[in-house]
Each structure stands twice: as C-alpha cells, then as structure tokens.
C-alpha cells in the first residue's frame, strides 16, 4: 500500500474512533477507554511511526480538564 492510501486509511480509522468516542456519555467509561487506547498504543513496536499524541513531542498523559 502506498503512503497516500495508508494515510487515508489511517485518517478514516481515526475519524471512526473519534465518532465512537463522542457517543460515549459516561465520563468514567470515556476515561477508561482513553487509558486502554493509550496502553495499546504504547505496545506498538518501535518505528511504527505516528505524528499523533502519544508520539514523541506530545505529553503522554495531558491534563484532562474533565476529571
């Protein structure tokens, strides 16, 4: 798969994740969901590259204004 197709697929998956997340109304469930996703992201092999939060340059656990 070329970089453009891979990027587009990744963008669409990200949008699906965001849409699902905003439908979760329970704050505790949201927090637990975020923690699980962060754990999964941390388990990714080195060099799997991402420019999203959790990558170098971003805080691992930014302050959550809702907690």
Strands (E), 1-67: none
Degrees, nearest 5: CA angle 53-54-60: 105
pLDDT category of residue 3 using cuts at 50, 70 and 90:
confident
**Long-range CB contact pairs, 54-57, < 8 A, 24+:** none
Q: Each residue of 30-54: pLDDT tens digit?
A: 999 999 999 999 998 766 655 555 4
**Which of 19 and 58 is assigned the larger pLDDT?**
19
What letters, b where the CB count within 10 A reaches 16 and e where it falls short, cover 27-38?
eeebeeeeeeee
- Residue pair 42/54 in contact (Cβ under 8 Å)? The answer is yes
């Amino acid at each position: 798969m070329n970089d453009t197709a891979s990027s587009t697929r990744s963008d669409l998956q990200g949008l699906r994740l965001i849409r699902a997340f905003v439908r979760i109304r329970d704050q505790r469930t949201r927090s637990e969901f975020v923690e699980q996703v962060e754990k999964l992201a941390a388990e990714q092999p080195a060099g799997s590259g991402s420019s999203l939060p959790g990558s170098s340059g971003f805080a691992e656990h930014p302050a959550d204004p809702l907690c």
